[in-house]
Amino acid sequence: MADPADVEWVLLRSFSDRSQAELMGEFLGREGIQASVEGAFSSGVLPGVAGVRVMVPSDKLTEAREAAEAFDGGSPRA
C-alpha cells in the first residue's frame, strides 16, 4: 500500500452543501474508493460561498467518476 503522503489527490466534485458531499464520500467508500471531503464546516451562514470538495486519489479518478454517475442516478454500478 502506498504511503498516504505520496497520494496525489484530485477534485472529483464540488458541492455547496456539506451533507451532500459527505453522502458522496460515504458512497465512494462503500464502492472501495478512498475519498476526502474538504471545505466549509459551517452551514446556512452563506450557502454556496465556501464550497465543499470531494477529493479522490488521482489513480482512482476514472473509477470515482463512474461511481459518482451511479450515485447521481441512484442505480448500482455494473
Residue 43 CA to residue 55 CA, distance in Å, equals 20
- Residues 24-74 have pLDDT tens digits of 999 999 999 999 999 865 555 555 456 899 999 999 999 999 999 998 886
> Which pLDDT score is estimated for 65?
96
> Which pLDDT score is estimated for 17?
86
> Which pLDDT score is estimated for 10?
97
- Report domain extents, the chain: 8-72
CATH of 8-72, one of 3.30.70.1530, 3.40.50.300, 3.20.20.80, 3.40.50.920: 3.30.70.1530
> Which pLDDT score is estimated for 6?
85
Q: Where are the beta strands (DSSP E) in the chain?
A: 9-15, 36-39, 52-57
Is pLDDT above 70 for 76? no
**pTM of the predicted model, to two decimals?**
0.76
